[in-house]
Amino acid sequence: MIKNEKLSIITDDKEEIATILFTFTENGKNYVVFEFDETHEVSAAVFVETKDGEGELHDIETDEEWALIDKVFDQYQEDLELEMEDDEFDA
């Protein structure tokens, strides 16, 4: 799982920087969930590796995929809350 790495997203001649929150693979697809650094908006996409070793982000196309991402994101948030609680007890 990749976390806290930066991602450059270029659309309509505009570049935005995002922080990868987490990645996961399901049904043969690689998903990346990220937060835009400037707006703090959270979004997701399918990551497809290109022949040159780089990659492209493809849109999420179905309601089923969005439901899956919502489920995984909810679990991610719960895990973060538990980590923060554990850190409070360790301090």
Q: 86 vs 13, 72, 73, 89, CA distance in Å?
A: 43, 21, 20, 5
> What are the residues whose beta carbons fall under 8 Å from the beta carbon of 47, sequence distance 6 or more?
23, 30, 31, 32, 55, 56, 57, 58
pTM confidence score: 0.82
Count: domains in the chain = 1
Measure the CA–CA gap between 47 and 53, rounded to whole angstroms. 12
Kindly state the helix (H) or strand (E) to which residue 20 belongs, with its residue range. Answer: strand 14-26
In a domain, residue 52? The reply is: yes
In a domain, residue 1? The reply is: no
Domain enclosing residue 31, as ranges = 6-90
pLDDT in tens, 2-58: 566 998 888 888 999 999 999 999 999 999 999 999 999 999 999 999 898 788 999
In a domain, residue 57? The reply is: yes
